[in-house]
Structure 1
Amino acid sequence: MRVLYLNLRRLKEGLLLLAGVTFIGGLVILGLLKEPCASPTSTSSSPIIYRVRTEEKLVALTFDISWGTETPPKVLDLLRKENVKCTFFLSGPWVKKYPELARRIAEDGHEIASHGHRHINLSPLPPEEIKAEISRAHEAIKEVTGKTPKLIRTPNGDYNAKVLKVAKEMGYTLIQWDVDSLDWKNPGVNTIITRVLKNVRPGSIVLLHASDTCQQTHLALPTIIQGLKEKGYRMVTVSELLQHGPGVAE
């Protein structure tokens, strides 16, 4: 009799468990309860990021600076006027040579990131030299701006598995782009504008430059900003963009 009672009890518990699982599964199907792994706000990212996967109309304008003092103030004045915050990738020697400009970028509320030290490709170097190049820029940026960079865009966008490994070990995330303005070629103001506005999509990272060799960027920037606003985009820093979805390498 006792054996029969225990078997009936186990059957009852099993039926209750099955009913519970079925009920929860039904909620998931109906969209009333989301599975933990289905969170749309997950920020797990690729070790190198070209854009962010999001449906929100967000875009990050990014500027590399390695040379000169004429173009950066023009770009900064425009960004201040439009109240747009961007991410600046700064090279170590430029920061040391022009500390006032580097500090102004930080004081204006822009995100400070690293563009390495010497403007050379890192992939041919041995790991210890890659680390030295990144470290020299890191210390210069931190000393001058008071900011500790966590993002890096390697010179010329050059990288390989070795560079990725060293950067990751140093606490850096490599940032590339999915929209290239080609402003470094000085192809014409309208060409720069068209390349950005035609190719941008939600989660895009746009490559621009604020070095003196790029003489058309500041002329194209007002129309780019206005065009993005008309398309319904909000311009944010790379780190803010990464809060809205995972970074992807594509």
Structure 2
Amino acid sequence: MTFDDGPYQYSWDLAKSLNAQGIRSTFFINGNNFVNVETDKLTTSEGEKTYMEVIKHYYDMGHEVASHTYEHKELQGLSEQEIEYQMNTESDIIFKAIGKRPALMRPPTGSYDANALAVLKKLGYSVVNWDLDTNDWRAHDFTQEKAAYQEMDKDTSGTVGHITLEHEVYDQTVNELIPWAIEYVKSKNYQFVTASECIGVEPYQ
């Protein structure tokens, strides 16, 4: 279970809820997308927090903090310098929050080219996309979102796992899809692990 585009107003309580259920997820975050994490604040079940505190909270709750670029820029077609700016600026923010630099990144929209891949490799990143896309950002259609998970019904005995894509910035995702998906995945006897555990790489540099 992986989340893109945060942090946002639901992130603090989502991270806490997942932790309470013994679930560790990976959050691919931006520094300046839905919010500016260095200046904006939010109200949580535990009072007002800064978004830098939210990033630390992910980590404290046992989740992985990974990069989704600083400004949610599609990497395909960007110059080496532009890619480095997006990645290094986000890395600095994450380091400031948790004292570690991410080794996992997800390209916005999942798109990248050979140049981007070479730059990311040079910067020490593993690229992590997904194989089950809920499309929760597109139609906000709960039936459609559930259908993505129900592709697991086709799994064979050789299937070792899936990386699902959700966005923590949508109320329906956080409050409807995720509670349903947790029960559904458990019914399939899968275990929830982080992205780094799923693909066998280190989460931090």
- Fold shared per TM-score above 0.5: yes
Q: SS of the residue aligned with 2:200?
A: helix
How many residue pairs get aligned? The number is 181
Q: TM-score, normalised by structure 2?
A: 0.81
Letter in 2 for 1:204: H
5+ residue gaps, structure 2, are 40-50
189, 210, 214: which one pairs with 2:168? 210
Letter in 2 for 1:136: T
The separation in 2 between residues aligned to 1:131 and 1:82, in whole angstroms, is 37
Partner residue in 2 for 1:62:
2
| Structure with greater helix share of residues | 1
| Alignment partner of 1:72 is 2:7 | no
**CA-CA distance at 1:186 after TM superposition:** 4.3
| Alignment partner of 1:105 is 2:58 | yes
Seen in structure 2, the aligned counterparts of structure 1 residues 190 and 77 have a Cα distance that, compared at 3 Å, is farther
Matched ranges for 1:87-98 at <5 A: 87-93=26-32, 94-97=36-39, 98=51
Partner residue in 2 for 1:39:
none
Partner residue in 2 for 1:85:
24
Q: SS of the residue aligned with 1:183?
A: coil
Letter in 2 for 1:111: E
Q: SS of the residue aligned with 1:100?
A: helix
Q: TM-score, normalised by structure 1?
A: 0.67
Matched ranges for 1:1-250 at <5 A: 61-66=1-6, 68-69=8-9, 71-93=10-32, 94-97=36-39, 98-199=51-152, 201-211=159-169, 214-218=170-174, 219-243=176-200
Conserved? CA contact 1:181–1:208, under 8 Å: yes
Structure with greater contact order relative to length (CA < 8 Å, sep ≥ 6): 1
Conserved? CA contact 1:118–1:133, under 8 Å: yes
5+ residue gaps, structure 1, are 1-60, 245-250
Conserved? CA contact 2:6–2:27, under 8 Å: no
**CA-CA distance at 1:189 after TM superposition:** 2.4
**CA-CA distance at 1:181 after TM superposition:** 0.6
- CA deviation string 1:118-171 (max 9, x = no partner): 112121211111111111111111111222200000122220001100000000
Letter in 2 for 1:206: T
